[in-house]
Structures are given as structure tokens and as C-alpha cells.
Structure 1
Amino acid sequence: MVDIRDVEVIAPNFKRRLSGVTSTIIQLIPVQRALGQKIAVLGPGLPKNLPSVRFRDLLHLWRRPAGRPCRVWHARRNVEMLPAILLRDLLRMKIRIVFTSASQRRHTGWSKFLIRRMDAVIATSAKTAAYLEVPNTVVLHGIDTKRFRPPGDKAEAKRRLGLDPSKKFVGCFGRVRRQKGTDLFVDSMIALLPGRPEWSAIVAGRATGSHLAFESELKERVVKAGLADRILFVGEHTNIPDWYQALDLFIAPQRWEGFGLTPLEAMATGVPVVATEVGAFSELVAVGDEETGLIIAADNLEAMVNGAAVFMDDLPRLAAAGANGLARTSKNFAIEAEARAIGAVYENLMR
């Protein structure tokens, strides 16, 4: 816990289950604090080591923080916007509200009602900004380039995970479900691997609830194709940066995505990316002169097979794209840059 009198920004998290939004908060808060932003979290489902305030501390919001006219409440969900509006407009507490939107679809009438009452709005991509009907600032997500980085020795990185260091690996990481396109990845590997004995594939991630049957069906397809020893379902891992370090190519096969950090995680590790044209992927992956990968049509198996083959069959191009991806993330997508851009929005509201 921190003293709310020393807090200028509150980042609420009103959802217990881990989600992409929660993960964003967990990664950003320590970086924001390191940059001097006086921010703390509020709510359940967050690590104990994050600076936090209690609900009863909100009584202090009637008072200004030292040297500031107000505090900032940074909401990322409808359920976090509504109480802030009540605190500001009904109880007249001294706060201003920022909302970050990652949605890439038309907002409901209720969401529009809430968003129109924000003091500032952040969009996580240009695509997201296009769905907003209010002025906004685009701040792309960043990546922790200290956590996600190339291995010193690629063969040793594979060996540590029990993988054959003489093989090349293409991976697909994330929740195992149709929306994430796991079936497209598996089917593309079933098409590609028989003619490329030097390559194998890794599916890292967890299937939950109704998606367990989907995962079982995919595993059956792999067995029937005779590729059970080359298309590996390794489950969910807390050491996911280690698995990126073992890869030579990454595929992001999503049919739909709000933003999607996995291409950045791969690029920061020096791994080229083949990604579908969803979420912010086309804003992350560079094509052309400084190629870091390819953007392909969503929900298109032929495009995925052809896109992966481009790199699997051209090792110099694979290596060049990996090096370009590492340079691009270091220059444009470090999480510190995201934290500074968000901090500038806070400063504008607290002047």
C-alpha cells in the first residue's frame, strides 16, 4: 500500500480474471513509477508488489494532491469509467478521467455515452482511433525489451527447453481457441512440415472451458497427419520469453484481435513474424525495405501457408527480417516510450 496523498494517478482494475488489460497494467505500472509518475493501482487481481491504494482511500479525492489541481483516474473498461464519472460529477471529487480504448468495432450506445464524458481518450492504435467519435491520442503499446530479447546462443536456448538444437522452430503462442486462429496455424504446419524435415512447430498456450474440445480435435489432426513429434503442444508457461528465444519464425494467426502483443514479443526477440491483418498487427510489422515479417489476410489458410513458406525456404531473408524486427522494436516500441506518452496525457490534465 502507498499513501494516497503521494498518489497523482489511480489505475483501477475491476476485473479479477487475468486479461490483456490486466496484463497491460501489470507491465506498465513499474515502468511509470520508475519514470517518476506517482501512480498506484486500485482493485483485485493484481500482484501484491504493485503500489496500490484501498477503496476507503478514495475519500481523499475531495482534496487536491500537493501542487496539482486534481488527480487522474485512468480507466480501461466501462466498469471503471462509470464510478469515476460518479465520483467526479455527483460527488464533485477532484479528479479527471482518462480512458484507454483498444476496441476495433463500433461501440455500443452505453460505451459511447461513457466515452463522451471522459476528459481525455487514448487509442491503442490508429485502427482503434477510427472507431472513436471523440478527440483522442494514439499511444501504441510497447514491449519490455529487457524481458524479451534475443538469446546469446540460439542452440542453447533450444536445448534448455528440451528441444533439438539442430532443428528450426516456428511458433504460435497464446490462448488455444478458434478466435486466435490456432487451427489455421496447425493446418498450415500440417501442409508445410512434411516437405521441410528441418522444421518443427510449437503451440504454446492454454485451452479453457469450451475450448478444450477444440484443442483435442487439433491434437487428433496432428496425430492423423503423423506429425505428433513435430507439432508440439507445450501448454502454458510463465517463462514465455524463453520459448520465444527458441523460435526461428513466429506466426500470429488470429481471426480477430484488439491489439495483440505477440508480434512485438517475437520481434523484440529477433524473430520474424507472419501476422494476419487484424488488431494493430499491420502497424507493428514492417514490410518493404526494412522487412520484419509479412501481413497476410485473416482467416485464409492458403495465405498463411504461402507466407510461412517465404521465410522457411529463404534463410537469409529469415535472418534479415529477424534483425530488422529487433531494431524496430528497440527504436519504436520500448515500453518506456509508451509510459512517457501516457504520462504526457496525465500532465496535460493535471496542469
Structure 2
Amino acid sequence: MHICLSDGWGGLEMYPGRIIPELKRQGWEPHGLALAGSAVAASLVEAGIEPMTVPTRGRALLQVGRVLAYLKRHDIGVLHCHKSSDLRLGALLATLRPKLKLFFTDHMGVTRAKKDLYHRWAYGRVTRLFAISDATRARNVAAFPLPVERIKRLYLGIDLEPYRPRLSEAEREALRRELGVPAASVAIGLPGRLTDGKGQELWVEALALLRERYPDLAWHGVVIGGLTAAEGSDEAYVAGLRAQVASLSLETRLHFAGFRRDLPRLFEALDIVCVPSRNEAFGLTVIEAMAAGKAVVGADSGAIPELIDATCGCLASPDAPEAWADAMAGLVRDPEQRQRLGQAAQRRAAERFELAAHVRALLEEYSQP
């Protein structure tokens, strides 16, 4: 059973729904526990299972008997939590039913020590903690009250098939027009939640420098991500970002696409993908762009340098808009380099970040005695 009692919507919340179809394909019977009415619950239904639901995180603890009965009825022996707050329930269930194996994926990258009495109890019930990058594993080892051998780096994976090109040239051009990209312009996209830390402000500043330093280049920026709190974004941050775009007179060079469910197709319309997140725990957007065969410019911080290097992408400091402007200018000028980097990135995604391989590694851990 995957437990994700979150009312938000981001990479962490998307994870159970992403892997459940592959768990089924590999012979397991997955179950889910989510908050009633949450996006997580809806994603589990879309993935093909009817999740058990609770009204609130607090009520989940009060309904521990109901959850235990469900586990017994379905002969569930593995629990997998995805938020640190879920471990309160997971550890309690593992305490009351000692044969349960309890797993936890740290999707966020812990930033402070968790070695007080409560955390020693909760993490003491964890069979294996999964870090999603080497960068986060180093922090996990320092922060969590667990022996290092119980903390394993397990990169995330994606289904590569949706990212293979499907659009005809006419369809691709129509999508580019929808995104406001003028004919013959290079489309530079930044997908992700619009919130502090994802680097959109730095990127907008870099676009202004790109226009100033390289006035001969034809390009158009596309911001992809929800514009409201209901879509997972920070509305105050969005308003500030729009004000920044206006103050730099970039309204005609930048399009806000909003939340889109057709991201694989949007990648087809883009030529360059930028991920300037300051301290990304993994970088799901990076591997999605790689799978789509795109030239990626990523921040040289957090886990992103584990995903791309100079052979399959570009790295720039999240504190240096000048470096981003120069990196984007080089790719705008050189379509052959964009193609070469994109093809290399696509090969690396297939070799290292394929969903079926991720799930096989996960199941090996689940199956350990």
C-alpha cells in the first residue's frame, strides 16, 4: 500500500499514480491510501485502483483500526510512505502489526536533523529509506537516525513512451502558435510549479539579458505551470513574476501557458528546456525533457548535475543570470548542437531513468526477507 496523505500536487504526489500501472505489469497488487477529494486520490483512480481514503491526516490516526483491518483483509505486507508526516501512521501500523515492512521515500531532501525521540521511534520502524539522488542521500545520512546501509539511493524513473515524438509538422507548428511562438523563433521553455526556489525569476532576468546582449537572435519564452493555488502554484509569486515580466518589457517575448496535462506534446513544440531550480532534490522535469530529446539547460546545484553533464546538456549557476543568457544564446545560435545534446540526453534517459527499471529495483527491496 502506498500512503500519500497530501492535499498538494507536485512530483511527490504524482509518484504513486506514476508507478502503480508498472507495479501491476510486474505482478504486484498495489493499493493506496489518500485524503478524500485530493488530487492524489484522483490520480490513483486514474491509475486503475480505488484507494482507501480518510478525511484528514489526523483522522487517519484515529482510524488506525480501520486501516489495519483493510491491510489484513487484502493481505498487505508492504507499506510505502511518501511524506514525512505519513510516517506517523506508517510507524504506528508497523508497531501494531510487526510483520509489515515499512518503506519511505524522501522526495524533498531533508534540510535539518531528525534525531529526537519521536523520529528515532518512527524511523526505527523503517525497513528502507529511499533517497532520490546522491545529493539527497548525503543529507539523509546526516539527518536521519538510521544506519547508512538502510538508506539507499534510488533514482526516479518515467515511462519513456509518451515522450516519443507524435506530432506532424503541421500539428507542431499549430501548437507553437498556440504558445505564442512566432514562426522561425527558437522556443525556450521552463516547465514546473511557479513558486519560490524553482528559478523562474532568475530565468526571466536571463531572458532580458539575452535580448539585450544578443539582439539578433529570434527566440520566445514559454512558462509552463499552473497559475493558481489550486493548480499547485504560489499566486503571490505568479503575480510578482508577471510584474517582473512587465517591468522588463518582455510581454511580447514570453507566454504563460498555464497548467497543461499534455506536457509530452509541449516538449515537442519547444527547442530548449530550462530548469533553473536552486536546490532540486532530483529533477523530474529534467529527465522528462531528456526523454523528449531536448537540449536542457539546468542549474549546477542540487541533484541536476547527476542527471546531465556537458555531453548531454548545459549547466549554469542558479545565481548567475548572465551565465544562463550565454548558455541559451549558444543553443539558440546552433541547431546542430541542440540536436546533438538532445539525442545524447534521450539515450541517457533510456539507460538510467526508465520506469520499469526503477520499479524492478523497488520490488527487489520490497521482496527482501
* TM > 0.5: yes
Shift of 1:84: 2.1
Q: TM-score, normalised by structure 1?
A: 0.86
Secondary structure class of the residue paired with 1:156 = helix
The structure 1 residue matched to 2:175, chosen from 136, 155, 160, is 160
The structure 2 residue matched to 1:18, chosen from 2, 9, 13, is 9
Shift of 1:93: 4.8
**Residue in 2 that maps onto 1:142:** 157
Alignment check: 8 A CA contact 2:11 2:284 kept: no
1: CA distance between counterparts of 2:104 and 2:240?
40
Shift of 1:155: 5.9
**Residue in 1 that maps onto 2:296:** 273
Establish whether residue 127 from structure 1 lines up as the match of residue 135 from structure 2. yes
User: Over residues 201-241 of structure 1, what are the superposed CA-to-partner deviations in whole Å (9 max), with x where a residue is unaligned?
Assistant: 11111244694344334334433444322211121112222
Alignment check: 8 A CA contact 1:244 1:266 kept: yes
Give the number of the structure whose residues are more often helix, by fraction.
Answer: 2
Cα pair distance change 1:310/1:107, threshold 3 Å: farther
**Residue in 2 that maps onto 1:253:** 276
Alignment check: 8 A CA contact 1:104 1:127 kept: no
Shift of 1:295: 1.9
Secondary structure class of the residue paired with 1:39 = coil
Alignment check: 8 A CA contact 1:187 1:301 kept: yes
Secondary structure class of the residue paired with 1:147 = helix
Secondary structure class of the residue paired with 1:190 = helix
User: Over residues 11-70 of structure 1, what are the superposed CA-to-partner deviations in whole Å (9 max), with x where a residue is unaligned?
Assistant: 1111122232111111111111111122211122222243245373531545894xxxx7
User: Over residues 102-136 of structure 1, what are the superposed CA-to-partner deviations in whole Å (9 max), with x where a residue is unaligned?
Assistant: 31533333585232331112111111111223322
**Residue in 2 that maps onto 1:6:** none
2: CA distance between counterparts of 1:340 and 1:153?
34
**Residue in 2 that maps onto 1:54:** 52
Shift of 1:165: 4.3
Moved more, 209-218 or 22-31: 209-218
Secondary structure class of the residue paired with 1:234 = strand
Secondary structure class of the residue paired with 1:187 = helix
Establish whether residue 174 from structure 1 lines up as the match of residue 192 from structure 2. yes
Within a 5 Å distance, the mapping from 1:80-119 to structure 2 comes to 80-89=86-95, 91-102=96-107, 103-110=109-116, 112-113=119-120, 114-119=122-127
2: CA distance between counterparts of 1:196 and 1:58?
65
Secondary structure class of the residue paired with 2:251 = coil
**Residue in 2 that maps onto 1:4:** none
Unpaired segments of 5 or more residues in structure 2?
54-65, 142-146
Secondary structure class of the residue paired with 1:274 = strand
1: CA distance between counterparts of 2:275 and 2:169?
21
User: Over residues 158-212 of structure 1, what are the superposed CA-to-partner deviations in whole Å (9 max), with x where a residue is unaligned?
Assistant: 3235243422100111122331111111111111135144211111112446943
1: CA distance between counterparts of 2:361 and 2:21?
15
Cα pair distance change 1:213/1:128, threshold 3 Å: closer
Letter in 2 for 1:275: G
Q: Percent identity?
A: 26
Letter in 2 for 1:147: P
Cα pair distance change 1:279/1:335, threshold 3 Å: farther
1: CA distance between counterparts of 2:170 and 2:240?
32
2: CA distance between counterparts of 1:204 and 1:315?
23
**How much is the aligned-residue C-alpha RMSD, in angstroms?**
2.4
